[in-house]
Amino acid sequence: MSKFHEEAVELFAETQAGAGNPATVTAAHGMAVLELSYSDDTSSSSHKYVGDDLSRDEETVIEDETGNITCKTFMPVSGVAGTEPPATKWLEACGGATIITAGTSIEITNSAASSELLTMQFRRSSSDIATQKNYQLENAQGVVNLEEEVGKRSMLEFTFNGNPIVPDQQAKLVSDTSTQKSLVAPLLRMNNLTLAELVVIEDGDVKTDVTNICYNKLSAPNVFGFAYDRFLTGCEEGFSKGAVATDVTITILEDDADATYNPHEHKGKIHAFYRKFGNDAGKQNLLTMDKLQLVEITPTTVGKWVGQELKFRNRGTTSILLT
């Protein structure tokens, strides 16, 4: 029998032409990811036939099965302004539309519709066997978390769900991820963080504008704000998508009560947040969240310094602009 090494895994993904029409996956569709996992989720119901008191004749009906792939990857850059990095296709399957302004920028945003479906292949193998066991998901869509900490690389955490096929054996396909590995955003540090702006908006006007909020972490689970419900019909099985508000947590250093920005003064108010890093053209990344409502302030620490964890509800649009 073949024995698969736990570290010998590959992930491929390609955009489908439509629902129920799986894409042909090639080496060029490999995803450069970290911490990759695959699991099946089965939904079933149990029915016990009436009978005598010694009967254990309970039938379990497997009603539905979905497959789940989780992985992480670093925030991409465009390399050359206006050039799409490979990661956009995965973000498109998470509700982030790609807007290409030729020669200028790539914007990934939930302000325009994007319901792309992926064919994904999670493959197991080992270095001494020539084949891979292929766990394939079709009609896959997902959510993406954005996790950032100053001093680390900006990280995208994906969770994809799709329709699994029975795993099959395939000739070994070695992913070509060299382009992706060359298009990774620089380390998020003070020397390349060119904008960290928090704006308080009241009655449509800018009330307070802090152009350099001293932040340490940003956590935005499900950053594009979509929730999925499973649906099954006679002609299509998949996931239906709906927009939802999500949480965004920004950790800052606590400042004087009479500082320009005193969070307690603005609890419940609408904020906008802009974060830009990257010094060189083709490596710049601007995050914009235009409607964040501050709902909770929790004491925390940044090193030994007192910090504040600001929890917002993201009620507006989110955009990642690569320039």
Partner 1 sequence: MKYTREKDGSPLVPVVDKKVEQETEKQEAELSKGNTEQQAVDAKKVADAAKATGAK
C-alpha 190/C-alpha 192 separation (Å) is 6
The CB-of-163 to partner 1 minimum distance in angstroms stands at: 17
Q: Does 235 bind partner 1 (CB under 8 A)?
A: no
User: Binding to partner 1 (CB under 8 A): which residues in 79-138?
Assistant: 84, 88, 92, 97-102, 104-105, 112-116
Classify the phi-psi angles of 28: left when phi > 0, otherwise alpha if psi is within -120 to 50, otherwise beta: alpha
15 forms part of the interface with partner 1 (CB under 8 A): yes
Q: What is the distance, to the nearest Å, from the Cα of residue 122 to the centroid of all Cα atoms in its chain? A: 18
Q: What is the DSSP letter of 266?
A: G
Q: Which of 17, 80 has the CB closer to partner 1?
A: 17
Q: Does 17 bind partner 1 (CB under 8 A)?
A: yes
Q: How far is the CB of 115 from partner 1 (least distance, A)?
A: 7
Among 12-20, 47-55, 56-64, 196-204, the segment contacting partner 1 (CB under 8 A): 12-20
Task: Name the strand (E) or helix (H) holding 90.
Answer: helix 88-92
For partner 1, the closer of residues 50 and 113 by Cβ is 113
Contact criterion met (CB below 8 Å) for 321 and 265: no
Chain positions 22 to 41 lying near partner 1, rule: CB under 8 A, are 23
CB of 18 to partner 1, least distance (A): 5
What's the min distance (Å) between Cβ of 50 and partner 1? 44
Q: Annotate each residue in 46-85 with x if it binds partner 1 (CB under 8 A) or - if it does not, as one string.
A: --------------------------------------x-
> In terms of residues, how long is the chain?
323
Which token pair is 145?
């978390």
Smallest gap from residue 107 Cβ to partner 1 (A): 9
CB 271 within 8 A of CB 292: yes
- As a whole number of angstroms, the distance between CA 146 and CA 135 comes to 26
Q: Least distance to partner 1 from the beta carbon of 179, Å?
A: 18
Residue 49 Cα to chain centre, angstroms: 45
Cα–Cα dist 159/143, whole Å: 6
* Distant-in-sequence, close-in-space partners of 265: CB < 8 Å, separation ≥ 6: none
Give residues in contact with partner 1 (CB under 8 A): 15, 17-18, 21, 23, 84, 88, 92, 97-102, 104-105, 112-116
